[in-house]
A and B are shown apart, each in its own frame.
Chain A
Amino acid sequence: NAGVMQNPRHLVRRRGQEARLRCSPMKGHSHVYWYRQLPEEGLKFMVYLQKENIIDESGMPKERFSAEFPKEGPSILRIQQVVRGDSAAYFCASSPVFVYEQFFGPGTRLTVL
Chain B
Amino acid sequence: AQRVTQPEKLLSVFKGAPVELKCNYSYSGSPELFWYVQYSRQRLQLLLRHISRESIKGFTADLNKGETSFHLKKPFAQEEDSAMYYCALSAQGAQKLVFGQGTRLTINP
Contact check, A3 vs B43: say whether CB atoms are below 8 A apart: yes
Interchain CB contact (< 8 A) of A104 among B32, B45, B90: B45
In the bound assembly, the distance between CA atoms of A34 and B32 in angstroms comes to 19
Residues of A within 8 A of B97 (CB): 33, 35, 43, 45, 102
Q: Answer yes or no: A72 CB below 8 A from chain B CBs.
A: no
Contact mask for chain A residues 17-58; partner B; CB cutoff 8 A; 1 contact, 0 none: 000000000000001010100001111110010000001101
Contact check, A56 vs B44: say whether CB atoms are below 8 A apart: no
Query: What is the size category of the interface that chain B forms with chain A?
Result: 20 to 34
In the bound assembly, the distance between CA atoms of A95 and B43 in angstroms comes to 15
Residues of B within 8 A of A106 (CB): 43
Interchain CB contact (< 8 A) of B49 among A35, A45, A48, A100: A100
Interchain CB contact (< 8 A) of A48 among B45, B95, B100: B95
In the bound assembly, the distance between CA atoms of A16 and B36 in angstroms comes to 35
In the bound assembly, the distance between CA atoms of A91 and B84 in angstroms comes to 16
Contact check, A56 vs B102: say whether CB atoms are below 8 A apart: no
Seen from chain A, the residues whose Cβ lies within 8 Å of a Cβ on chain B are: 3-4, 31, 33, 35, 40-45, 48, 55-56, 58-59, 91, 95, 100-107
